[in-house]
C-alpha cells in the first residue's frame, strides 16, 4: 500500500510538472502562432461548408457541437493530409450533390432545409454500401467519419460531451446505469 501511495504522489507530481510545462508553452508567441493558423483555416474558402456539415452532424445541445469544438479545421486538415484515405475532392463531391439537391446553393438555405438535405444524403449513403466508391455518398461516409473522429478527440467532445477518463483505476463488470455516459478514451487513436 505504501508503495502505491508513493506512486500516486509521484504521478501527481508528474502531472503537476506537465501542467506547468503547458502553461509555459502558452506564452504570447505561441498563442499568436496558433491564432494565425486558425485564421488561415477560417479564410479557406471550404471552411464555411465544412463548418455547416460539422454542426449539422453534431450540433450544439447541452454541450457545444462540432463547430465550436474546432472540428471543421480538423476535417480540412484530414482531407488535405490524406488521413485514412480522405481526399480533398471528396468535399467537392458532397458539396456538388447537396447544391444539386438544394437546386441552388446549399449554404444559402435555412438550417432546417440543410438538415433535411443532409439527412437525405446520409440515408442514401448508409442504406447500402455505396456502389460508386468515388461518388458523393461514399465521400459523405468518409467525411462523416472524420467529423465524428475529430469531435470525440476534441476537448469538448472527449471531456464535455463524453467522459474523459485517463486512468479508470479499476476493472469491473457492472449493470449499465440509466445515466451512464460513454468514456471517450475507448475510441481514441482507433481506426475510423
Residues near other proteins (CB under 8 A): 3-4, 7-8, 10-11, 14-15, 18, 56-59, 61, 65, 74, 77, 81-84, 115, 118-119, 122-123, 125-127, 141, 144-146, 148-150, 152-155, 158, 161-162, 164, 166-176, 180-192
Say how many C-beta atoms besides its own lie within 10 A of residue 46's C-beta. 17
- Return the number of the residue (51 or 161) whose C-beta is nearest other proteins: 161
Total residue length of the chain: 192
Contact 67, 54 (CB under 8 A): yes
- Return the number of the residue (82 or 108) whose C-beta is nearest other proteins: 82
Smallest distance from other proteins to CB 109, Å? 15
- Return the number of the residue (44 or 187) whose C-beta is nearest other proteins: 187
Contact 151, 58 (CB under 8 A): yes
Contact 147, 75 (CB under 8 A): yes
- Return the number of the residue (46 or 87) whose C-beta is nearest other proteins: 87
Say how many C-beta atoms besides its own lie within 10 A of residue 57's C-beta. 20
If we measure between CA atoms, which residue out of 144, 156, 153, 155 comes closest to residue 79?
A: 144
Rg (CA), the chain: 20
- Return the number of the residue (103 or 173) whose C-beta is nearest other proteins: 173
Smallest distance from other proteins to CB 170, Å? 5
Smallest distance from other proteins to CB 157, Å? 8
Smallest distance from other proteins to CB 108, Å? 19
Smallest distance from other proteins to CB 81, Å? 5
CA dist., res. 41 & res. 30, Å (int): 17
Span between the terminal Cα atoms of the chain, in Å: 41
- Return the number of the residue (50 or 125) whose C-beta is nearest other proteins: 125
Contact 184, 158 (CB under 8 A): yes
Smallest distance from other proteins to CB 38, Å? 14
Amino acid at each position: 500500500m505504501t508503495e502505491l501511495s508513493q506512486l500516486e504522489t509521484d504521478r501527481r507530481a508528474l502531472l503537476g510538472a506537465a501542467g506547468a510545462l503547458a502553461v509555459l508553452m502558452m506564452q504570447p508567441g505561441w498563442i499568436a502562432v496558433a491564432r494565425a493558423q486558425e485564421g488561415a483555416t477560417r479564410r479557406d474558402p471550404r471552411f464555411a461548408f465544412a463548418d455547416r456539415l460539422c454542426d449539422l452532424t453534431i450540433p450544439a445541445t447541452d454541450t457545444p457541437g462540432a463547430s465550436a469544438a474546432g472540428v471543421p479545421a480538423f476535417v480540412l486538415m484530414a482531407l488535405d493530409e490524406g488521413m485514412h484515405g480522405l481526399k480533398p475532392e471528396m468535399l467537392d463531391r458532397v458539396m456538388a450533390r447537396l447544391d444539386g439537391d438544394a437546386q441552388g446553393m446549399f449554404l444559402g438555405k435555412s438550417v432546417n432545409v440543410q438538415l433535411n438535405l443532409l439527412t437525405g444524403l446520409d440515408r442514401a449513403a448508409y442504406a447500402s454500401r455505396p456502389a460508386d466508391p468515388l461518388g458523393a455518398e461514399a465521400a459523405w461516409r468518409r467525411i462523416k467519419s472524420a467529423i465524428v473522429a475529430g469531435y470525440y478527440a476534441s476537448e469538448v467532445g472527449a471531456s464535455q460531451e463524453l467522459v474523459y477518463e485517463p486512468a479508470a483505476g479499476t476493472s469491473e463488470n457492472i449493470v449499465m446505469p440509466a445515466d451512464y455516459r460513454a468514456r471517450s478514451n475507448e475510441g481514441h487513436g482507433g481506426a475510423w
